[in-house]
């Protein structure tokens, strides 16, 4: 299988998806109760939960290109628990966070099950791998404390780990048996007819070019407008381009590669056990990988070149950066994989907050602009959870989420201020080149 031209920048998930006709673009002026901008996990999960809970409300979703065009259709496929930026501290608080994200994964499973969706996914566990002995020791103690309050993580020492996943240099891992892998495009494409069946109107190829806030918000595309009492920003890394959270969100371009399909019988020779959905590691430039349901080894991160920042935080892809260094990192971890050709390379936008903690809440003079964004590397779970959280906030039934570190609710956002350009661009590049680490404000302990 030849490597496709990178200019196409299509993910493995998009490339292998069943073709479908796009939903009609918006044309003319419409009214609705709720207008959602963005057709990724956040937008589609919000459409699903709002329409399920409020079947009489008119909901319109506007997507600039195709459903799954952003990170949701371009990610590494790991469906993980936990919230980036939060370090386990008090075990009971940590359990509350784990339980919240586990509800996110359970929610994905429930939608697939309820609507009998044909989705490529598995939930056979994912590992957070340790490359440093001290970190592994600390992780073992944390797992013990979390087990005591009912969090079902398992610590694997080097020997137990290599029986499941043979990553060179790994000294231990935390196995989360409730995590897994999700092909985002297959999920969103299967969810689309469900959402349409619930009465939501979806317009693809309808980029929003202007927003006028008010008691009724007006959202404009080149060919029409939607006026609605409630606006949902479901645009994650693209949100600053719409004029929101420019000083809170930093869009990076994450780089991912995938190998040609491996037969199941070849997985073990590559060091990949049959039960492992995926892994990530303990390094600042996180590596992550999963085995797709078709046996393609998907791998991203691991090196500076895997996380590009463009001046002004452009969410549009503007260059190839360093896929070869990502591939070298993959081959250092799994040397056998070097014998299998790489067939796919792609990038997608990731939204980082200064301390990596995502945010969900409501803002605006009329308290009618809902947002959920900044998921870093945990958006597969969190952006799917966001639909439920925002629907609860909209319904004034948000007790479940109050006090959790990602929930702003009706309060001013807790996302920290990020310096403006050109300081941001210079700071990012100086820091990453000198230290190999991404700049960040310390997160919080649970
Ligand atoms: C390479 C990569 C690897 C990743 N790996 C993982 C992983 O393994 N596990 C994990 O949990 N997370 C991962 N993530 C993060 C995760 O994919 C995202 O956090 C999540 O998909 C965000 O979902 P979203 O719906 O909020 O945003 P998106 O999926 O980005 O959706 C936003 C949508 O808004 C649309 N849009 C933008 N501007 C406009 C406009 N003006 N008008 C209309 N529509 C607009 C876009 O076209 C897009 O479809 C990864 C991300 C990338 C890019």
- In the prediction, which pLDDT does 87 show? 85
Same domain, 244 and 140: no
The DSSP secondary structure of 191-251, one letter per residue, reads HHHHHHHTT-EEESS--EEEEE-SSSEEEEETTEEEEEEEEEE--GGGGGGGTSSTTT-EE
Kindly report the three-state secondary structure assignment for every residue of 102-164.
Answer: HHHHHHHHHHHHHCCCCCCEECCCEEEEECCHHHHHHHHHHHHHHHHCCCCCEEEEHHHHHCC
- In the prediction, which pLDDT does 313 show? 84
Average pLDDT, the chain: 94
Candidate of 195, 210, 380 to mutate for ligand 1, largest count of ligand atoms within 8 Å of Cβ:
380
Range of the domain at 403: 6-73+185-249+356-409
In a domain, 82, yes or no: no
- Classify 375 as helix, strand or coil: coil
Which residue has the CA at smallest separation from atom 3 of ligand 1? 75
Cα(135) to centroid of ligand 1, in Å?
30
How do residues 344-362 score in pLDDT, each as one tens digit? 999 999 999 999 999 999 9
Same domain, 325 and 377: no
Same domain, 241 and 264: no
Residue 310 banded pLDDT, cuts 50, 70, 90: confident
Mean pLDDT of 382-393: 98
- In the prediction, which pLDDT does 138 show? 95
Q: What are phi and psi of 361, to 5 degrees?
A: 180, -160
Distance between CA atoms of 420 and 166, rounded to whole angstroms? 43
Which residue has the CA at smallest separation from atom 36 of ligand 1? 38
Residue 247, number of CB atoms within 10 A of its CB: 14
The enclosing domain of 326 has a CATH number of 3.30.9.10
- In the prediction, which pLDDT does 380 show? 98
Same domain, 202 and 255: no
Same domain, 393 and 328: no
Cα(2) to centroid of ligand 1, in Å?
27
Given the CA of residue 256, which atom of ligand 1 is nearest to it?
Answer: 1
User: How far does the chain reach from its first CA to its final CA, in angstroms?
Assistant: 46
In a domain, 393, yes or no: yes
Distance between CA atoms of 283 and 302, rounded to whole angstroms? 8
The lowest-confidence range among 114-123, 259-268, 435-444 is 435-444
Report the percentage of the chain scoring pLDDT > 90: 87
Domains contained in the chain, number: 2
Which residues touch 89 (CB under 8 Å, ≥6 apart)?
Answer: 445, 446
Residue 210 has pLDDT above 80, yes or no: yes
How do residues 45-95 score in pLDDT, each as one tens digit? 999 999 999 999 999 999 999 999 999 999 999 999 999 999 888 999 999
Mean pLDDT of 357-375: 97
In a domain, 366, yes or no: yes
In a domain, 111, yes or no: no
pTM of the model: 0.97
299 CB near ligand 1 (under 6 Å)? no
In a domain, 445, yes or no: no
Mean pLDDT of 201-210: 98
Same domain, 283 and 172: yes
On the question of a cis peptide bond just before residue 52, with omega within 30 degrees of 0, the verdict is no
238 CB near ligand 1 (under 6 Å)? yes
Residue 156 banded pLDDT, cuts 50, 70, 90: very high
Residue 240 has pLDDT above 70, yes or no: yes
Nearest CA to 360 out of 314, 321, 415 is that of 415
Residue 141 has pLDDT above 90, yes or no: yes
In a domain, 422, yes or no: no
Same domain, 213 and 294: no
Same domain, 157 and 218: no
Which residue has the CA at smallest separation from atom 50 of ligand 1? 75
Task: Give the pair of three-digit tokens for residue 180.
Answer: 């897994």
287 CB near ligand 1 (under 6 Å)? no
Residue 417 banded pLDDT, cuts 50, 70, 90: very high
74 CB near ligand 1 (under 6 Å)? yes
Given the CA of residue 77, which atom of ligand 1 is nearest to it?
Answer: 8
Given the CA of residue 381, which atom of ligand 1 is nearest to it?
Answer: 11
Dihedral sign of CA atoms 19, 20, 25, 31 in order: negative
In a domain, 430, yes or no: no
In a domain, 83, yes or no: no
Same domain, 26 and 171: no
Distance between CA atoms of 156 and 174, rounded to whole angstroms? 6
The enclosing domain of 401 has a CATH number of 3.50.50.60
Residue 20 has pLDDT above 70, yes or no: yes
Distance between CA atoms of 227 and 33, rounded to whole angstroms? 8
Same domain, 46 and 67: yes
Residue 9 has pLDDT above 70, yes or no: yes
Residue 410 banded pLDDT, cuts 50, 70, 90: very high
Mean pLDDT of 410-428: 94
Same domain, 176 and 207: no
Mean pLDDT of 423-436: 90
Cα(220) to centroid of ligand 1, in Å?
21
| Single residue among 350, 368, 385 that ends a domain in this structure | 350
Which residue has the CA at smallest separation from atom 4 of ligand 1? 75
Please report how many Cα atoms fall inside a 13 Å half-sphere around the Cα of residue 25, on the Cβ side. 12
Same domain, 288 and 170: yes
Distance between CA atoms of 338 and 258, rounded to whole angstroms? 12
- In the prediction, which pLDDT does 374 show? 98
Residue 140, number of CB atoms within 10 A of its CB: 15
Residue 274 banded pLDDT, cuts 50, 70, 90: confident
């Amino acid at each position: 299988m030849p490597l496709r031209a990178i200019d196409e920048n299509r993910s493995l998930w998009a490339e292998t998806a069943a073709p479908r006709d796009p939903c009609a673009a918006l044309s003319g002026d419409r009214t609705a109760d709720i207008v959602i901008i963005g057709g990724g996990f956040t937008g589609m999960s919000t459409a699903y939960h709002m329409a399920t809970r409020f079947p009489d409300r008119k909901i319109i979703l506007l997507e600039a290109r195709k459903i799954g065009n952003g990170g949701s259709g371009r990610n590494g496929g790991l469906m993980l628990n936990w919230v980036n930026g939060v370090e386990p501290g008090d075990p009971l608080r940590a359990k509350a966070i784990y339980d919240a994200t586990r509800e996110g994964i359970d929610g994905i499973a429930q939608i697939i099950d309820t609507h009998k969706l044909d989705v490529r996914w598995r939930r056979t566990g994912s590992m957070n791998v340790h490359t440093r002995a001290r970190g592994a020791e600390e992780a073992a103690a944390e797992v013990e404390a979390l087990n005591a309050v009912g969090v079902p993580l398992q610590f694997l020492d080097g020997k137990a780990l290599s029986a499941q996943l043979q990553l060179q240099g790994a000294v231990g891992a935390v196995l989360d048996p409730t995590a897994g892998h999700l092909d985002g495009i297959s999920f969103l494409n299967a969810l689309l007819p469900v959402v349409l069946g619930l009465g939501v109107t979806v317009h693809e190829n309808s980029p929003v070019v202007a927003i006028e806030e008010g008691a009724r918000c007006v959202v404009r595309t080149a060919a029409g407008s939607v006026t609605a009492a409630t606006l949902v920003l479901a645009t994650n890394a693209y949100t600053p381009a719409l004029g929101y959270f420019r000083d809170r969100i930093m869009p990076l371009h994450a780089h991912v590669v995938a190998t040609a399909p491996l037969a199941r019988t070849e997985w073990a020779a590559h060091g990949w056990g049959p039960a492992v959905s995926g892994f990530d590691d303990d390094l600042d430039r996180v590596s992550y990988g999963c085995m797709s349901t078709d046996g393609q080894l998907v791998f991203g991160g691991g090196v500076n070149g895997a996380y590009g920042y463009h001046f002004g935080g452009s969410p549009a892809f503007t260059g190839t950066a360093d896929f070869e260094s990502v591939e070298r990192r993959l081959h250092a971890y799994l040397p056998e994989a070097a014998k299998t050709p790489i067939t796919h390379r792609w990038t997608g936008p990731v939204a980082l907050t200064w301390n990596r903690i995502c945010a969900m809440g409501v803002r605006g003079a009329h308290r009618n602009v809902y947002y959920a964004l900044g998921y870093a590397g945990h958006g597969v779970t969190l952006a799917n959870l966001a639909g439920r959280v925002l629907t609860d906030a909209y319904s004034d039934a948000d007790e479940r989420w109050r006090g959790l570190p990602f929930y702003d609710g009706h309060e001013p956002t807790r996302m920290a201020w990020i310096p403006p350009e050109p300081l941001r661009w210079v700071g990012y590049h100086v820091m990453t080149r000198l230290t190999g680490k991404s700049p960040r404000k310390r997160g919080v302990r649970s």
